[in-house]
Amino acid sequence: MSFEVVHTSVVRGLRGESGFATAIMTRGLPAGLESGLQDVSGYDHDSARAVGVDTVEWAHRIVTVRGRPYTVLSRVAPNGVDASRRPNRIAHHLVLEPHERALGGPAWMLGQFGAFETGTPEVTERTTPPVLPTGDLPVRAAHAWSAAGFDAGWAGVVAQSLVDHPQAVVYVVLPEALDALPLVIDVLALMPNDRRWHVTFSTRPLVVLPHVRCQLRFVRAEAPGLARMLAEPGARVVRVERDEDAGESDAANAARRGQTVEPTSRPVNTRVNPVVQSALGSSAAGVREQDAFAASTRAGAQVPAAPVAQAERSSFDDSIGAASQASPGRTGTDLVDSFGSARDPRAVQDVARASIYSRSNLQWPPIAIALILYSGLAVLGAVILFLLAAFAR
């Protein structure tokens, strides 16, 4: 059975409280889930802080409450002002059972659901679940990206990163604010049906909570604090520009032609980091590379000058995996991970321990050598004295 929760500022909420409270809830909502959904109902009205690319937050998250994960589809948007004349917002959440997930994917369901509350509703407890859309979304060319002024191939670049790195956070940096839900729908349409619901996303990310999974995050270039977000260890970054081609990779061409983006054929548990290119006659590229190096250094990473194969944990349920390195190149998959990031800290620790162990077996400290020599000479002197004493008798 599905559930819905609407959270906004009201004079008197469902439980008698005033201000931001639950206005609508389906009867039988699992214990603790109401509070968990309130945690993802926030909205930052301050444009000086917000980093999201969309005015409305469209989101698919996995919210874990009391050890149980829940599939949550959300729409969070401005809602005028409340009774105290402060900015109001309204958050409408749908909680789905696994069998209620449409083949079309979470973004497609958000676009098809036509009963989202957009104004302050009448406070009530609903006895019937919401009517959810059903159906499939066939693979198709990324027309929404083209309509927004981008090369359709970028949708394939994003899809490839999601398919190949399911446990890594992926930031999509767009040049300005726009309606991002159609872009997400295009990306997921390029993925196999059994992978679409593995992708969690937000078009206006706010805060990251330990019990909430949100993998794909759409952000706006030049947003305050964006550099700090992109330097998150393990994050992969795709920077999109209107006047730049996404390249001729298989994924980019699949997005243009309307074909499924398949996982890249790679050895099990191996990731190849993209090259950090040098400034090929471009001072701007040099600045970008230095910025990437600085960000990686802050995160405790090393920026290689060539592709480096590293171990990667492939389980979908693992936490964010090891990061890939930056590339200031301006086409195709070179722009994936275009900001510096760090290796898996656990892998760094393992390398450090191995290095220390290796040095301890190959090199003797000078003081140890001196003590060994002194002990040897003392023993030799004692033996000589013993022999002289024996012959003197």
User: Over 70: is that where the pLDDT of 320 sits?
Assistant: no
Assign 110 a pLDDT band (cuts: 50, 70, 90).
very high
233 closest CA partner among 334, 324, 349 = 324
Q: What is the mean pLDDT of residues 262-280?
A: 46
174 beta partners:
220
CA–CA separation, 380 vs 393, rounded Å?
Answer: 21
% of the chain exceeding 70 in pLDDT: 74
Q: Give 83's contacts (C-beta < 8 A, 6+ positions apart).
A: 9, 11
Task: Band the pLDDT of 312: cuts 50, 70, 90.
Answer: very low
The residue behind tokens 């510096």 is 340
The band of 386, judged by pLDDT with boundaries at 50, 70 and 90, is confident
| pLDDT for 61 beyond 70 | yes
Across 289-299, average pLDDT = 40
Asked if pLDDT for residue 1 goes beyond 80, the answer is yes
Give me the count of residues in the chain: 393
pLDDT band at 265 (very low <50, low <70, confident <90, very high): low
pLDDT in tens, 168-221: 999 999 999 999 999 999 999 999 999 999 999 999 998 889 999 999 999 999
Crossing angle, helix 250-257 and helix 153-164, to 10 degrees? 130
**pLDDT tens digits, one per residue of 133-145:** 999 999 999 999 9
Q: What does the alpha-carbon distance between residue 254 and residue 337 come to, in Å, rounded to a whole number? A: 20
Question: Contact, 72 vs 41, CB < 8 A?
Answer: no
Q: How far apart are CA 198 and CA 165, in angstroms?
A: 11
